[in-house]
Amino acid sequence: MITHSQTRLLWSARRGMLELDLILAPFIETQYDALSAAELTCLAHLLQATDMELYAWLTEREPAPPEFSALVQRLLHYARRHVQ
């Protein structure tokens, strides 16, 4: 069952870049229940970044800010295993 909080995150995950859409929404859909409250809060803040910032972090062209680094690493791990 999708919660209101998950729906809000999914809506925030809709981006203008297909590359981000292919990672963010599936990550939220499959990993939401495994994330702690702190990780969910961090994810909500991460999704406030611009598409270009997210793209730079998820392609490792730029390091993610320290407050997002663990979550970005988790997203990268997910993308490497699940996104083709």
**CATH (domain of 54):** 1.10.150.250
56 contacts: CB under 8 Å, gap ≥ 6: 62
Q: List CB contacts of 1: < 8 A, sequence separation 6 or more.
A: none
| 43, 28 Cβ separation under 8 angstroms | yes
Which pLDDT score is estimated for 3? Answer: 82
Q: What is the DSSP letter of 62?
A: S
Domain that holds residue 66: 4-82
Tally of structural domains, the chain: 1
Residue-wise pLDDT for 22-44, tens only, equals: 999 999 999 999 999 999 999 99
The predicted model gives 61-78 an average pLDDT of 97
Confidence check: pLDDT of 2 > 80:
no
